[in-house]
Amino acid sequence: MTAAPSAPPQRMLLTVAEVATELGCGRDTVYALLTSGALPSVRLGGRLRRIRRTDLTTYVDSLGASTPSR
């Protein structure tokens, strides 16, 4: 009996476009989140900007905590 193929591992660093796709918004919105400090990022090679998957998860989790209950 053979084992089922496993899913490929998730990448640790995401591009701005990938984060926009994950959040269902535009790249401009992601850049605004980065500029405001709401979503941290790292710079690679001085020019490339990447977002840690853990930082994206933390940001999304914080959205539910900040919404007022009705």
Residue 53 lies in a domain: yes
The CATH number for 17's domain is: 1.10.1660.10
Q: 46 vs 20, which has greater pLDDT?
A: 20
Residue 6 lies in a domain: no
The confidence band for 1, taking pLDDT boundaries of 50, 70 and 90, is: low
Residue 48 lies in a domain: yes
Residue 36 lies in domain: 13-64
Question: How many other CB atoms are there within 10 angstroms of residue 19's CB atom?
Answer: 24
The confidence band for 69, taking pLDDT boundaries of 50, 70 and 90, is: low
**DSSP SS3 for 16:** helix
Residue 69 lies in a domain: no
Which of these, 24, 30, 58, 55, lies nearest to 42 by C-alpha position?
Answer: 55
Check whether 68 has a pLDDT greater than 90: no
Based on the structure, what is the number of domains in the chain? 1
List, for residues 6-26, the tens digit of each pLDDT value: 777 788 999 999 999 999 999
Residue 55 lies in a domain: yes
Tokens of 16: 């701005």
Residue 5 lies in a domain: no
